[in-house]
Amino acid sequence: MSMKKNKIIRLTVSYLIILLMCAVVIYPLLWVIGSSFNPGQSLSGATMFPKDPTTAHYAYLFDQEKSNYISWYVNSLKISIITMISTIILVSFTAYSFSRYRFLGRKNGLLTFLILQMIPNFAALIAIFVLANRTGLIDTHLGLILIYVGGQIPMNTWLMKGYLDTIPKELDESAKVDGASHIRIFVQIIMPLAKPIIAVVALFAFIAPFGDFILARIILRSNEKFTMGVGLYEMVAKQFGKDFTTFAAGSVLIAIPIAILFLCFQKYFVSGLTAGGTKG
């Protein structure tokens, strides 16, 4: 009877903690979504469930004569997709090299990546700005993409290398006996088996630039080249700016591509994160 009581207590406490965490996450989201449907521009009278909901704020965002939101959205998608694809290609080759080959400077290279992943991009803002200015990459999407891709490589290389280490090297050796080249082994054997970690890297590489503000604010200058983070900030930071409900509507729309990508990759996500930790 005592064991049954203990089990009930543990389950009750577990469910209470889960409910508390859900409330902490969901409550702000509901406020943002509710605010986006509130009439007016101020948040002072906004409620989570508005009495007279309106879609006027969403209509304003998609009106190209009044707002550049569609342009910002396209810019963010373009930068994030190119960053994601470039990161996957570069990280795959780099992680495979560190996982499968032994060469001079391998340990120092891994140590360098480990140190670099501890340093956030914003810690080097001055250096990034000076370098972008001298190379003519200020106010260009290319400059922003190069920064994002470079920042993604260290952490994701370690993540993917840990996963590739769990793939038996006997598969490579068997393929070599059958006459397969290194490229063929990489493309036809290793990469199909590494789908879970590729999905994780793809998700991380997409989310980081899609929701970034600091680096985009440093590099971009023209309104038509803004990403969503910078564009929405300018919307509420301008003189006498008070478009907070419109800002909320724009924030809600930001979550859509990320949610779609996560739903597409969710079956790989957990296995991709956990498998890399089973072997060093």
pLDDT band, residue 44 (cuts 50/70/90)? low
- Do 205 and 258 meet the contact criterion of CB atoms below 8 Å apart? no
Report the pLDDT value the prediction gives residue 82, as an integer from 0 to 100: 96
Report the pLDDT value the prediction gives residue 67, as an integer from 0 to 100: 84
Mean pLDDT of 104-126: 81
Give 10 or 45, the one with higher predicted confidence: 10
The model's pLDDT over 140-182, given as tens digits with 9 standing for 90+, comes to 999 999 999 988 888 899 889 988 988 888 888 888 888 888 8
Closest CA to 171 of 195, 192, 146, 151: 192
Residue type, 245: T
- CA quadruple 259, 28, 62, 245: dihedral, nearest 10: 180
Report the pLDDT value the prediction gives residue 92, as an integer from 0 to 100: 93
State how far the alpha carbon of 243 is from the alpha carbons of 84, 197, 229, 237, in Å. 32, 40, 15, 9
Q: Computed over its alpha carbons, how large is the radius of gyration of the chain?
A: 23
Report the pLDDT value the prediction gives residue 1, as an integer from 0 to 100: 53
**DSSP state for residue 261 in the 8-state scheme:** H
Mean pLDDT of 1-13: 79
Report the pLDDT value the prediction gives residue 274, as an integer from 0 to 100: 57
The model's pLDDT over 223-280, given as tens digits with 9 standing for 90+, comes to 889 999 898 888 877 745 567 888 888 888 888 888 888 888 777 766 655 554 444 4
Report the pLDDT value the prediction gives residue 81, as an integer from 0 to 100: 95
Which residues have CB under 8 Å from 36's CB, separation 6+? Answer: 57, 58, 245, 248, 249, 251, 252
Give 240 or 111, the one with higher predicted confidence: 111
The model's pLDDT over 50-102, given as tens digits with 9 standing for 90+, comes to 888 888 888 888 888 888 899 999 999 999 999 999 999 999 999 999 988 88
Report the pLDDT value the prediction gives residue 273, as an integer from 0 to 100: 56
Residue 113 has pLDDT above 90, yes or no: no
Residue 36: other Cβ atoms inside 10 A: 25
Backbone angles phi, psi at 72, to 5 degrees: -60, -40
